[in-house]
């Protein structure tokens, strides 16, 4: 509304639509003329026509001027899949809006608002900002440590047990078949094994100073008086006088793994008119508490004897309890009745079952052994079914060991959980490499553990390596010898190139030794 003396008036900004405006003249005594009117068509702002670009994690949206009948006061931005429920996300008076986002796909809505508060229809655009380099690597590397752990567990401990069995059996071919067809647990299993052991194979001695090479260091005794004597029998530990009726001598402790088999052996003399004596294997937990002793005792009087048959007869085999961390070989006697003496020598602990191998002071095995094991297992119960195929090849030479284990398994449970897994583990002198492929129906992974991985290609009679993953100067490196075609975005903290060609570039800071600009300047530089 306008009151005043004028032939024209500015009524401000009007709502959109068709508006009728009236005017009347008044004289000095308040008499009015007949009102006259006209219509004014007020258009709402144009819906913004959005154009978007993604620069890494940054979203940039622009649009042309949305002005129609009245000037634009600003633009409102929302984000959401549907405009009616989209969240208010910002506003601007410019025709450019920039936002740094987390990785994902988003729909943005922009509405123009004119000076009278009239809103345009919303314009929308869907944008997919890239993750940051850290975010992308975190997603790609998620749970890969578990994949590597699974790869390391392929055939874990199997090659060691296989070689230990091969050492015990010698050169042999064995086959074991198991069939269970009654009850809820159904099982069919075939295990075939071939092994070859060189004549004279000697397992390493787990006891340091088992032959008293270093006096009586780290040996313990139930009574004092033991001395080191070197004579025709070599270095021996002897209790010459004051032998009690019952007693023991215990070797330095060796590392032990729960569930593993160990064999203890030695040579001794026991001069007495009665009583029993012999060797045993004792295990201890992490606190040093004894977990028990397995012994083989013999009656009567005897002397040292340089015969392997004697060591075999007197050797003792024991399985380490689950909590065992160390073990020792012990010599035990009971019922000693005379003034005779006691002596021990050449004591040995070795991993593996009977018979014992000859004495050595070395910790590493000497000799060669090779073995192959093939195992096929099918198992079914009321709530699960499983099939496993496992092949293992292993060799050991003078303590150095190499093995290959291939394992494939499929499993299904009553709850609908499915899993398929295939892997190869190669272990050579403690260094592990291999591949693992698994699939649980929802996701799959293929993980390779190697120092260098290459894809080779034969080109015109020569071999090319277009793709290589390895290490250069200690830094993990991917090498591409050829053309890299990327239909997407390359995320990088830095780029070092000999030549760069780009149609459009966005540069925040430029350092240049020389800049050459070509073109006529039309449309800007």
Q: Check pLDDT > 80 for residue 478.
A: yes
d(CA 427, CA 152): 9
If asked whether residues 250 and 343 sit together in one domain, one would say: yes
If asked whether residues 154 and 123 sit together in one domain, one would say: no
Using pLDDT thresholds of 50, 70 and 90, give the confidence band for residue 12: confident
**Strand (E) or helix (H) holding 276:** strand 276-284
Question: What is the average pLDDT score of the chain?
Answer: 91
d(CA 12, CA 481): 68
If asked whether residues 281 and 188 sit together in one domain, one would say: no
Using pLDDT thresholds of 50, 70 and 90, give the confidence band for residue 68: very high
If asked whether residues 237 and 342 sit together in one domain, one would say: yes
Indicate the SS3 state at residue 521.
coil
Q: Residue 225 is encoded by which pair of tokens? A: 């008086």
Q: Which of 39-53, 78-92, 123-137, 441-455 has the lowest mean pLDDT?
A: 123-137
**Domains: count for the chain:** 3
Q: Check pLDDT > 70 for residue 41.
A: yes
If asked whether residues 129 and 181 sit together in one domain, one would say: no
Examine the fold and report which residue of 414, 432, 449 is the final residue of a domain before the chain moves on.
449
pLDDT tens digits for range 504-518:
887 777 888 888 877
Q: Check pLDDT > 70 for residue 523.
A: no
If asked whether residues 85 and 195 sit together in one domain, one would say: no
More confident residue, 2 or 406: 406
If asked whether residues 62 and 156 sit together in one domain, one would say: no
d(CA 58, CA 131): 10
DSSP-assigned letters across all residues of 248-263: EEEPPPEE--TT-EEE
pLDDT of res. 416: 87
pLDDT of res. 319: 96
d(CA 432, CA 460): 36
pLDDT tens digits for range 350-370:
998 898 999 999 998 888 999
pLDDT of res. 525: 55
pLDDT tens digits for range 413-471:
988 899 999 999 999 999 999 999 999 999 999 999 999 999 999 988 999 999 999 99
| Burial state string for 365-394 with b = 16 or more CB within 10 A and e = fewer than 16 | bbbebbbbbbbebebeeeeeebbbebbbbb
d(CA 491, CA 503): 18
Q: Residue 87 is encoded by which pair of tokens? A: 């969240």
More confident residue, 104 or 169: 104
Q: Which domain holds residue 178?
A: 147-199+368-449
If asked whether residues 329 and 245 sit together in one domain, one would say: yes
Whichever domain contains 74, its CATH number is: 2.60.40.10
pLDDT of res. 494: 86
d(CA 207, CA 81): 72
Average pLDDT over residues 32-48: 92
pLDDT of res. 337: 87
Examine the fold and report which residue of 351, 382, 410 is the final residue of a domain before the chain moves on.
351
Name the phi and psi angles at 148, rounded to 5.
-65, -40
Decide if 279 contacts 315 (C-beta within 8 A). yes
DSSP 200: T
Decide if 153 contacts 407 (C-beta within 8 A). no
pLDDT of res. 382: 85
Q: Classify 209 in phi/psi space as left (phi over 0), alpha (psi -120 to 50) or beta.
A: left
Q: Check pLDDT > 60 for residue 349.
A: yes
Residue 45 lies in a domain: no
pLDDT of res. 56: 80
Residue 377 lies in a domain: yes
Q: Which of 86, 101, 87 is nearest to 53 (CA)?
A: 101
Q: Check pLDDT > 80 for residue 9.
A: no
Using pLDDT thresholds of 50, 70 and 90, give the confidence band for residue 198: confident
If asked whether residues 122 and 154 sit together in one domain, one would say: no
d(CA 213, CA 361): 8
Name the phi and psi angles at 383, rounded to 5.
-120, 0
Q: Check pLDDT > 60 for residue 15.
A: yes
Using pLDDT thresholds of 50, 70 and 90, give the confidence band for residue 10: confident
Name the phi and psi angles at 327, rounded to 5.
-150, 170
If asked whether residues 325 and 381 sit together in one domain, one would say: no
**Cα dihedral 83, 84, 88, 90 sign:** positive
d(CA 280, CA 316): 6
Q: Residue 165 is encoded by which pair of tokens? A: 């069995």
Average pLDDT over residues 59-69: 95
If asked whether residues 224 and 344 sit together in one domain, one would say: yes
Q: Residue 420 is encoded by which pair of tokens? A: 């398929």
């Amino acid at each position: 509304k306008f009151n005043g003396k004028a032939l024209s008036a500015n009524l401000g900004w009007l709502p959109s639509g068709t508006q009728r405006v009236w005017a009347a003249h008044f004289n000095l005594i308040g008499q009015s003329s007949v009102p006259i009117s006209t219509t004014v068509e007020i258009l709402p702002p144009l819906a913004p026509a959005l154009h978007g670009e993604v620069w890494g994690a940054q979203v940039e949206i622009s649009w042309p001027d949305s002005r129609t009948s009245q000037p634009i006061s600003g633009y409102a931005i929302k984000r959401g899949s549907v405009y009616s429920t989209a969240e208010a996300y910002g506003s601007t008076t410019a025709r450019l809006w920039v936002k740094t986002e987390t990785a994902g796909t988003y729909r943005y809505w922009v509405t123009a608002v004119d000076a009278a508060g009239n809103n345009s229809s919303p314009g929308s655009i869907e944008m997919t900002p890239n993750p940051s380099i850290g975010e992308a690597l975190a997603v790609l590397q998620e749970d890969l440590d578990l994949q590597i752990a699974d790869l390391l567990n392929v055939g874990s401990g199997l090659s060691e047990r296989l070689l230990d069995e091969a050492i015990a059996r010698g050169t042999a071919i064995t086959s074991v078949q198991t069939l269970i067809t009654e009850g809820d647990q159904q099982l069919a299993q075939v295990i075939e094994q071939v092994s070859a052991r060189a004549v004279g194979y000697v397992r390493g001695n787990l006891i340091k100073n088992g032959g008293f090479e270093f006096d009586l260091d780290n040996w313990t005794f139930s009574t004092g008086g033991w001395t080191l004597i070197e004579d025709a029998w070599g270095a021996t530990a002897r209790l010459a006088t004051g032998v009690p009726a019952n007693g023991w001598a215990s070797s330095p402790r060796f590392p032990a793994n729960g569930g593993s088999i160990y064999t203890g052996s030695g040579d001794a003399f026991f001069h007495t008119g009665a009583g029993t004596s012999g060797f045993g294997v004792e295990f201890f937990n992490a606190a040093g508490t004894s977990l028990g002793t397995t012994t083989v005792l013999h009656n009567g009087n005897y002397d040292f004897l340089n015969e392997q048959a004697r060591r075999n007869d007197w050797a003792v085999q024991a399985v380490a309890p689950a909590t065992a961390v160390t073990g020792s070989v012990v010599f035990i006697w009971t019922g000693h009745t005379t003034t005779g003496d006691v002596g021990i020598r050449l004591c040995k602990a070795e991993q593996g079952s009977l018979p014992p191998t000859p004495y050595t002071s070395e910790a590493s095995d000497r000799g060669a052994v090779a073995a192959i094991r093939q195992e096929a297992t099918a198992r079914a119960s009321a709530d699960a079914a499983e099939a496993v195929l496992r092949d293992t090849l292993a060799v050991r030479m003078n303590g150095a060991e190499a093995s290959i284990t291939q394992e494939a398994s499929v499993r299904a449970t009553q709850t609908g959980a499915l899993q398929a897994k295939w892997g190869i583990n190669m272990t050579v002198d403690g260094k592990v490499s291999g591949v693992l492929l698994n699939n649980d129906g929802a996701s799959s992974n293929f993980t390779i553990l190697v120092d260098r991985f290459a894809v080779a290609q034969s080109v015109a009679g020569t071999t090319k390596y277009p793709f290589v993953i390895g290490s250069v100067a200690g830094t993990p490196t991917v090498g591409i010898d050829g053309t890299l075609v990327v239909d997407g975005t390359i995320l990088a903290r830095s780029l070092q190139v000999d030549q760069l060609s780009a149609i459009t570039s966005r540069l925040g800071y430029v350092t240049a030794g020389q800049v050459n600009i070509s073109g006529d300047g039309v449309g800007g530089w």
